[in-house]
């Protein structure tokens, strides 16, 4: 059995824990604790402090190990540990909160320093009527053309699956010589 490590990152409340919960074959390991800062508590009551962990069997030879990162920058010392040995990563964007796009940009810059692994970006929460269109998210983030950006609804298994498959495609494209 081969294991592939994939990291799911993104700003606070982008939907990382939910994304892993939706797709994991096992009950995900989760390290959410009560939120202490009032401004963050306005968005949700609990937050991930160390990691989320879930697995998904692609077939009987391949298992994906999914690691979700904590979103707040004060926990970013965990990112290097989580990114160590990862074959690719997913950047989740909260499409309902344009104000977080600059934080997402900072996070992407930081990840590019930590790892050379390929990544895809997912414009999450597309089921919400207030969600920004994926094309707008792409423009605001200034994504290079070779970085795939997918529409995503983290509550829907098929949607999460599409994002993971897009990442696997990127991993194969960047590790296979032309
Ligand atoms: N509308 C909508 N809300 C979502 C989706 N995914 C997650 N959420 C909500 O967004 C909030 C943050 O999700 P969570 O997974 O805890 O975010 P994390 O901080 O990135 O781990 C929660 O209230 C989730 O229910 C989605 O696909 N659509
Ligand atoms: Mg979380």
Ligand 1: residues with CB < 6 A are 10, 12-18, 44, 47-48, 71, 124-125, 127-128, 153-155
What sign has the CA pseudo-torsion 135, 147, 6, 110? negative
Domain count, the chain: 1
CATH number for the domain harbouring residue 122? 3.40.50.300
Distance CA 82, CA 178 (A): 29
How close is the Cα of 72 to the center of ligand 1, in Å? Answer: 15
User: What's the pLDDT score for residue 39?
Assistant: 65
Identify the weakest region by mean pLDDT among 50-54, 95-99, 133-137, 167-171: 50-54
Whether 59 shows a pLDDT value over 90: the answer reads: no
List pLDDT tens digits, range 132-164: 999 999 999 999 999 999 999 999 999 999 999
Domain hosting residue 152, numbered range: 2-175
List pLDDT tens digits, range 1-12: 888 999 999 988
How close is the Cα of 15 to the center of ligand 1, in Å? Answer: 4
pTM of the full structure: 0.90
**Can you tell me which atom of ligand 1 is nearest the CA of 12?**
19
């Amino acid at each position: 059995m081969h294991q592939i490590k994939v990291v799911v990152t993104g700003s606070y409340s982008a939907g990382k824990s939910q994304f892993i919960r939706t797709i994991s074959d096992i009950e995900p390991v989760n390290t959410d604790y009560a939120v202490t800062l009032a401004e963050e508590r306005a968005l949700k009551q609990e937050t991930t402090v160390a990691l989320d962990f879930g697995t998904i069997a692609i077939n009987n030879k391949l298992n994906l190990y999914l690691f979700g990162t904590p979103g707040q920058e004060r926990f970013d010392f965990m990112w290097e540990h989580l990114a160590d040995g990862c074959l690719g990563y997913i950047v989740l964007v909260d499409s309902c909160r344009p104000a977080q796009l600059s934080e997402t940009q900072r996070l992407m810059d930081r990840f590019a320093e930590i790892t050379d692994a390929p990544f895809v970006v997912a414009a999450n929460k597309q089921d919400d009527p207030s969600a920004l269109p994926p094309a707008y998210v792409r423009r605001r983030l200034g994504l290079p053309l070779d970085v795939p950006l997918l529409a995503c609804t983290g509550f829907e298994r098929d949607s999460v699956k599409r994002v993971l498959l897009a990442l696997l495609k990127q991993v194969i494209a960047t590790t296979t010589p032309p």
